[in-house]
Amino acid sequence: MKADTHYAVVLDAGSSGTRAYLYSWPDHSGDKHELLKISPLLQDGEPMVKKATPGLSSLGETPDNAFEYIRPLLMFASDNIPKEKHKETPLYILATAGMRLLEKEKQEAVMANLRKGINENFDFYFPTGHLDIISGKQEGIYQWLAINYVLGKFQHAEHAARNEELVAVEPLHSSRDTESLVFRPRTVGALDMGGASMQVAMEITSNLQLQGMPEKDKAQVAEINLGCTEHDTEHTYRVFVTTFLGYGANEAVNRHH
C-alpha cells in the first residue's frame, strides 16, 4: 500500500510580518524510537514561504481588514496543498510579541475577524485552539524544538549519527537507578531575537541541575513529550525557557532612538 502524505500550514504572525510555512510528512514508520519525519514543501530546492507585511498587530486600529491581510497567505497554502487534503490539513496561526503588546480588546477584534473569514472561505482543519497569541514561554519552546529537530537532536541512540555525543538524561520521576536513564543526543540551547521580544531556551538533563535552580527559574521549566504515548520517557524533554519582552531587534532600535 502506498504511504499517505499529510500536510500542515503554519502562519507565524510576528511583529514585523506574517509568514506562511507549508509542511508535509509520510505516515509514521511505526518505530517507537522515531518521531514523524516532517519537512517543508520545496520549490527549486528551497522551502516554500510567503510573507505579508507589516505585522498583524498593525491592524489593531482596523481589525475588519485582518482577514483580507492574511487571505493571500491562505491562497498560497490552498494552491500548493492538494484540494482533497484541505479538510484534514491543520492550519495554525500563532501570533507573537507584536500582538501581545496590543490592548486586549484590539487583540480580540483582530482574532474574531480572522476566525470568521477563514471559516467562511477555506476548508482547512481550523479549530478554536489553532488561532492563538502565544506567550513568550511558548515562543521559546517552539524555537528550541525547531532548531533541535532540524539538527537531528531528537534522534535516539538507535538512530543517532556515529560521532554524535550522547548524554544520560534523568527522567523527571526517576528512582535514581541507571535503568531509568535515557541515553540520547545532547540538545543545543537556543537564543531567538525577534522583532519585539527575545527568548532563551535550553534542556535540563538532571534532577540535580533542577534542584540547584532558584524557585522563580524552576517555574520557567516546561516538560514536553514529543512521543506518541503518554508516558514516553524517551521523548520527554525538560526545557528551561525565559523571555524578554521589549528586547527584540525593532524594540531595541526604538528604545535607542
Taking Cα atoms as reference points, which of 85, 82, 99, 76 lies closest to residue 21? 76
Taking Cα atoms as reference points, which of 6, 130, 117 lies closest to residue 70? 117
User: b/e map of 10-48 (b: 16 or more CB within 10 Å)?
Assistant: bbbbbbbbbebbbbbbeeeeeeeebbeeeeebeeeeeeb
Active site residue 215: no
Taking Cα atoms as reference points, which of 5, 38, 30 lies closest to residue 146? 38
Q: Which residues pair with 191 in a beta bridge?
A: 200
Neighbour tally for 239: CB within 10 Å = 22
Query: For residue 19, what pLDDT is reported?
Result: 97
How far apart CA 27 and CA 139 sit, in angstroms, is 27
Taking Cα atoms as reference points, which of 153, 152, 147 lies closest to residue 169? 153
Taking Cα atoms as reference points, which of 231, 88, 110 lies closest to residue 171? 231
Residue 31 has φ and ψ, to the nearest 5°, of -80, 120
Query: For residue 229, what pLDDT is reported?
Result: 79
Per-residue pLDDT of the chain (257 residues; tens, 9 = 90+): 456 999 999 999 998 899 999 999 999 988 888 899 999 999 999 999 999 999 999 999 999 999 999 999 999 999 999 999 999 999 999 998 889 889 999 999 999 999 999 999 999 999 999 999 998 889 899 999 999 999 999 987 777 777 888 899 987 665 555 567 888 999 999 998 877 778 899 999 988 888 889 999 999 999 999 987 787 888 899 999 998 877 888 878 888 88
What residues contact 196, with CB distance under 8 A and at least 6 apart?
A: 15, 96, 97, 98, 100, 101, 245, 246, 248, 250, 251
Cell 497569541 identifies what position? 133
Q: What share of the chain is helix, strand, coil (3-state, %, to 5)?
A: 35, 30, 35
The three three-digit cell numbers of residue 155, written as one number: 534522534
Query: For residue 175, what pLDDT is reported?
Result: 53
3-state secondary structure of 5: strand
- Single out the catalytic residue among 84, 105, 139, 223: 139
H or E segment and range at residue 224: strand 221-225
**183-232, pLDDT tens digit by residue?**
899 999 999 887 777 889 999 998 888 888 999 999 999 999 998 778 78
